[in-house]
């Protein structure tokens, strides 16, 4: 049973349909990527899961139960548009936000101490938020989001505004959270982090879910049957051997070797390719090339555009 299940969600705004019959299944204890171009309806779906707005049709099940106000304390949400009270002190504010999520002051204080130490930001406790840089504020916001140990975490563009070091720190924490049993919904436009972190994805476009599945499986689905071979030897002989149904996309020297990118004809596999080349050159490595999530994203969204 999926941990979070959105069934046939429809949400209309005054002049447009934000979500048109969208269904999403998020398996327990996984990182789930919610993808889509700007204005696709991701934020609307996230707001519905957070009960900020209600769906016009459809229902959300969390752990098999219909979503209700008491679930709020089980969810941690880091919105894309996030801010803090500028004039309030960091510690005081973190305490307040944690208490709004239903934590007792005592528990919140204890846990905040732990996290502030872990992120090495104890000296900020009595500073006003306006004295912190944007990245620093994001750290505080991240801590507040996960402080009440929610079983479902929703991160909307969590890495924006972070330098690579802090982005990595955050990535590690997100992976930690999964290891500790949390389920994570992760919305971003940064496809390389999707490949790195996500187990499953759903891609939404124009209010409709147009693609979902496990990340490696999705990439394979869009495979163009490409292979990359590193070899040394005579490039011409290699080209001659592949003449015909194989299509050489590129062949360039990298260091001492040549790197060859080949599009294989349908229904052929890498074994057949190797058979053709094995007598022509020294093969140093060989791998199937799957499209990046970036390519998949662009491909699917563009296709979807031409259909509709």
Partner 1 sequence: MSKIPLILKREYLTRVKKKSFIIMTILGPLFFAAMVIIPGWVASMSDSDEKTVAVIDHSGLYIDKINDTEIIKFEYIDPASEDNLRNDFAGSGYYAFLIISDNLLVNSNAIHLYSDVGITIDVRDQIINSLRGYLRSEKLGSYEMDGLDQIIDDINKVNINLTTIKLGDDGSENESSTEMAMIVSLVFALLTYMFVFIYGAQVMQGVMEEKTNRIIEVIVSSVKPFELMMGKILGIALVALTQVALWIVLTGIILSGVKMAFSSESDLASRMTGIEMATGNADATEAIAEQSNSFNYDKVMSNMESMNPVGTLILFLLYFLGGYMLYASLYAAIGAAVDNNTDTQQFMLPVTIPIILALYVAMAAFRNPHSDMVFWFSMIPFTSPIVMMARVPFDVPLWEIVLSLALLVAGFIFTTWFAGRVYRVGILIYGKKVTYKELWKWFRYSGK
Nearer to partner 1, 86 or 113 (CB): 86
Taken in order 154, 159, 161, 166, the sign of the CA dihedral is positive
| Least CB distance to partner 1 at residue 68 (A) | 13
Nearer to partner 1, 44 or 193 (CB): 44
CA proximity to 225, closest of 192, 272, 257, 191? 272
| Least CB distance to partner 1 at residue 96 (A) | 5
Q: Which residues pair with 252 in a beta bridge?
A: 259
Nearer to partner 1, 36 or 79 (CB): 79
| Least CB distance to partner 1 at residue 69 (A) | 8
| Least CB distance to partner 1 at residue 85 (A) | 6
Distance from the first to the final alpha carbon of the chain: 33
At residue 156, the 3 state secondary structure works out as strand
| Least CB distance to partner 1 at residue 130 (A) | 10
User: Which positions touch partner 1 (CB under 8 A)?
Assistant: 13-14, 47, 50-53, 56, 72, 75, 77-79, 81-88, 96-97, 99-102, 141, 144
Nearer to partner 1, 47 or 200 (CB): 47
Q: Are 199 and 27 in contact (CB under 8 A)?
A: yes
DSSP 276: H
CA proximity to 3, closest of 59, 51, 54, 65? 65
CA proximity to 227, closest of 268, 286, 280? 286
| Least CB distance to partner 1 at residue 204 (A) | 19
Beta strands in 120-236 (DSSP E): 152-156, 183-187, 200-205, 208-214, 226-233
Nearer to partner 1, 98 or 177 (CB): 98
Nearer to partner 1, 102 or 181 (CB): 102
Q: Give the span between the Cα atoms of 134 and 157, in whole angstroms.
A: 14
Tokens representing 61? Answer: 């099940």
């Amino acid at each position: 049973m999926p941990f979070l299940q959105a069934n046939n969600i429809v949400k209309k705004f005054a002049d447009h349909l934000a979500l048109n019959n969208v269904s999403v299944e998020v398996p327990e204890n996984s990182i789930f990527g919610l993808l889509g171009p700007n204005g696709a309806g991701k934020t609307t779906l996230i707001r519905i899961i957070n009960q900020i707005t209600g769906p016009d049709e459809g229902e959300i099940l969390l752990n098999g139960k219909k979503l209700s106000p008491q679930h709020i304390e089980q969810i941690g949400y880091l919105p894309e548009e996030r801010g803090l009270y500028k004039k309030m002190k960091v510690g005081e504010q973190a305490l307040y936000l944690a208490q709004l999520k239903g934590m007792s002051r005592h528990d919140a204080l204890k846990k905040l101490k732990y996290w502030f130490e872990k992120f090495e930001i104890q000296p900020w406790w009595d500073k006003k938020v306006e004295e912190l840089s944007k990245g620093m504020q994001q750290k505080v916001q991240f801590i507040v989001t996960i402080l009440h140990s929610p079983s479902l975490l929703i991160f909307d563009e969590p890495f924006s505004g972070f330098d690579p070091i802090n982005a990595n720190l955050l990535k590690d924490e997100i992976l930690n959270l999964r290891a500790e049993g949390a389920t994570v919904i992760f919305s971003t436009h940064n496809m390389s982090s999707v490949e790195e972190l996500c187990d499953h994805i759903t891609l939404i476009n124009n209010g409709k879910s147009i693609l979902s599945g496990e990340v490696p499986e999705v990439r394979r689905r869009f495979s163009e049957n490409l292979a990359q071979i590193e070899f040394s030897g005579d490039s011409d002989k290699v080209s001659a051997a592949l003449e015909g149904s194989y299509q050489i996309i590129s062949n360039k020297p990298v260091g001492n070797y040549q790197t060859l990118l080949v599009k294989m004809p349908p229904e052929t596999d890498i074994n057949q390719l190797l058979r053709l080349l094995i007598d022509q050159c020294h093969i140093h490595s060989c791998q199937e090339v799957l499209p990046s999530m970036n390519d998949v994203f662009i491909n699917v969204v563009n296709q979807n555009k031409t259909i509709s």
